[in-house]
């Protein structure tokens, strides 16, 4: 049966497993997966490399002047994984560092950065069939998304997941530092003036602290099937 394509928004706190569920959905449905956080990370990497982010401040003037020089694209590698490119250079590894994560959280508070990335994200979503994860997808980027999911998990569970991921990449993080970073980003993401992280009124919420990936994906697929079956009856 041919089903009309929809857009799916997956929002939630950092390290909440958003990308795992979003990628799983995209694969199962043959949709395009877009990691909007990677776009904020790429902007941060560009700004860090240009020396525009220091401990105390961001050189907003320079970043604003050069925002349209930042071209972010995604390509799928031989293993079928999506990788992020900044001006044609593969930066998938670089954008996952703690330094870039912190930079991303900071540049994402700037209205002109959000405006530009939201514009690009909405263009990608025009043809439908997109699963996008982030913080403001259900509220700002795709307020009309047919399916909106909002994931939560405790800070400790999320820090443990990020800690394990970093160790698996051969890094030597300190758990306390990773936990502090998760909490710091939660605070910034939820309290910033511009598009703070919040659940859209029509989003379906799932706390995944205690449940595994297969179960989460099953939950999301059930929501998708219920919705599309309803749409077909109308």
Interface residues with ligand DC (CB under 6 A) are: 14, 36-37, 40-41, 101, 104-105, 108, 134-137, 185, 189
- Of 23 and 185, the one with the shorter C-beta distance to ligand DC is 185
- Of 199 and 228, the one with the shorter C-beta distance to ligand DC is 199
- Of 155 and 228, the one with the shorter C-beta distance to ligand DC is 155
- Of 7 and 36, the one with the shorter C-beta distance to ligand DC is 36
Query: At its nearest, how many Å lie between ligand DC and the CB of residue 225?
Result: 26
- Of 209 and 226, the one with the shorter C-beta distance to ligand DC is 209
Q: How many CB atoms lie within 10 A of CB 211?
A: 14
Query: At its nearest, how many Å lie between ligand DC and the CB of residue 83?
Result: 14
Query: At its nearest, how many Å lie between ligand DC and the CB of residue 229?
Result: 29
Task: Find, among 37, 6, 26, the residue nearest to 80 by Cα.
Answer: 26
- Of 104 and 178, the one with the shorter C-beta distance to ligand DC is 104
- Of 17 and 224, the one with the shorter C-beta distance to ligand DC is 17
Query: At its nearest, how many Å lie between ligand DC and the CB of residue 57?
Result: 18
DSSP string, the chain: ------EEEEEESTTSSHHHHHHHHHHHHTPEEEEHHHHHHHHHHHHHHTT-B-SS-B-HHHHHHHGGG--EEEEE-TTS-EEEEETTEE-TTGGGSHHHHHHHHHHTT-HHHHHHHHHHHHHHHTTS-EEEEESSIIIII-TT-SEEEEEE--HHHHHHHHHHHHHHTT----HHHHHHHHHHHHHHHHH-SSS-----TTPEEEE-TT--HHHHHHHHHHHHHHHHHHHHH-
Query: At its nearest, how many Å lie between ligand DC and the CB of residue 80?
Result: 20
Query: At its nearest, how many Å lie between ligand DC and the CB of residue 178?
Result: 13
CA dihedral (219, 225, 230, 234) positive or negative: positive
Give phi and psi for 33, each to the nearest 5.
Answer: -100, 130
Query: At its nearest, how many Å lie between ligand DC and the CB of residue 4?
Result: 25
């Amino acid at each position: 049966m041919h089903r009309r394509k929809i857009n799916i928004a997956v929002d939630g706190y950092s390290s909440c497993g958003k990308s795992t569920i979003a990628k799983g959905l995209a694969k199962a449905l043959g949709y395009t997966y877009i990691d909007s956080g990677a776009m904020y990370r790429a902007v941060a990497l560009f700004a860090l490399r240009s020396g525009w982010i220091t401990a105390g401040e961001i050189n907003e003037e320079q970043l604003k002047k050069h925002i349209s020089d930042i071209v972010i694209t995604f390509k799928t590698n031989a293993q079928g994984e999506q990788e992020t490119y900044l001006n044609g250079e593969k930066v998938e590894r670089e954008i996952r560092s703690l330094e870039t994560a912190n930079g991303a959280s900071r540049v994402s508070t700037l209205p002109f950065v959000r405006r530009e990335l939201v514009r690009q994200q909405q263009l990608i979503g025009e043809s439908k069939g997109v699963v996008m994860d982030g913080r403001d997808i259900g509220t700002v980027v795709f307020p009309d998304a047919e399916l909106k999911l909002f994931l939560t998990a405790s800070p400790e569970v999320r820090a443990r997941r990020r800690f394990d991921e970093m160790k698996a990449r051969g890094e030597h993080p300190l758990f306390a530092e990773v936990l502090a970073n998760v909490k710091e980003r939660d605070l910034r993401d939820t309290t910033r003036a511009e598009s703070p992280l919040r659940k859209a009124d029509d989003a379906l919420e799932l706390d995944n602290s205690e449940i595994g990936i297969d179960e989460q994906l099953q939950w999301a697929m059930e929501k998708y099937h219920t919705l599309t079956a309803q749409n077909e009856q109308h």
